[in-house]
Amino acid sequence: MAAPAQRNMLTALRSSTRTPSPRLARPFSSSFAASSHVGSNPIPLPPAVSFEAPPQLADLSTHSNSRPANARVRGPKGELLVPIHPFVRLSSTPAPSSSGSAASPAAGTLTVSIDDAKVKHQRAIWGLTRALLANAVKGVSEGYTLPLRLVGVGYRAAVEDVPNPLPGQSRQRLNLKLGYSHPVLIDLPLDISAATPAPTSILLTGIDKQRVGQLAAKIRKWRVPEPYNGKGIFVGDEQVRRKEVKKK
């Protein structure tokens, strides 16, 4: 009777003194981590675009937690402000001039860099700042145009003047007929213009890509495209996957 008890005690003692083997964490993906190099791509500056960096960037001892300063991008279409964090470095390079050839289409390039590429927050802001600057350069030089389509029976859109506008407020608005018992009136911001080439189409134009898209989303929310009849307000080349109506 004592032998099985002793055997069990020895087994328990061995299992308690045994060191557990370390387990390696299994990765969710078998592919190697590849970093995006969007931030390191230079931004071509057209000849008609001027760039003015914020003065805070000249001081390398600026604390990384301070608020971002604004950089100015001017062009024939207008002027935009882009927030620049203190750890972001901007350098502009003039385009090389070659004698006996046509003028270069770009007046120079703008390069974005950061202080420490090992910091995750700085890497994230790196690509974001480069994208915002590229959008601003294109906005002040060419502008952005976003079309909207109204699909539905009786859906109509028209641009009309705002009666008795106050100083500094919108002077035009969109008059939308979307199947409600009342017309939908949407005031247009001062920096965005709209046109209606057809009664069922709207064309938004502006220099700020974010504000143009935000206004398009505001218009779209009044009639979100639905998959059963395919009706709604479609932004750009938006498509909706059609569904079959449930039958009893």
One-letter identity of residue 96 = P
Instruction: Please compute the mean of the pLDDT values over residues 129-146 and round it to a whole number.
Output: 96
List, for residues 193-233, the tens digit of each pLDDT value: 999 999 999 999 999 999 999 999 999 999 999 999 999 99
Q: Would you say the pTM of this structure is higher than 0.85?
A: no
pLDDT range class, residue 170, cuts 50, 70, 90 = confident
Top-confidence residue, 92 or 142: 142
Q: Which residues contact 113 (CB under 8 A, 6 or more apart)?
A: 39, 40, 88, 89, 90, 91, 126
The pair of three-digit structure tokens given for residue 138, joined into one six-digit string: 């294109």
One-letter identity of residue 97 = S
Instruction: Please compute the mean of the pLDDT values over residues 65-74 and round it to a whole number.
Output: 84
pLDDT at 162 over 60: yes
Top-confidence residue, 81 or 30: 81
Residue ranges per domain, the chain? 43-141, 144-235
Q: What is the pLDDT of residue 15?
A: 59
List, for residues 23-69, the tens digit of each pLDDT value: 555 656 565 555 557 888 999 999 999 999 887 544 544 445 578 88
Q: Rounded to whole angstroms, how far apart are CA atoms 183 and 201?
A: 16
Q: Which residues contact 227 (CB under 8 A, 6 or more apart)?
A: 240, 241, 242, 243
The answer to whether the 43-141 and 144-235 domains have the same CATH topology is yes
pLDDT at 109 over 60: yes
Q: What is the pLDDT of residue 191?
A: 92
144-235 carries CATH number 1.20.120.530: no
Pick the CATH number of 43-141 from 3.40.640.10, 3.90.930.12, 3.40.50.10810, 3.30.70.20: 3.90.930.12
> By the 8 A CB rule, do 92 and 45 touch?
yes
Question: What share of the chain in percent tops pLDDT 70?
Answer: 76
pLDDT range class, residue 168, cuts 50, 70, 90 = confident
Top-confidence residue, 161 or 31: 161
Main-chain dihedrals φ then ψ at residue 22, nearest 5 degrees: -65, 140
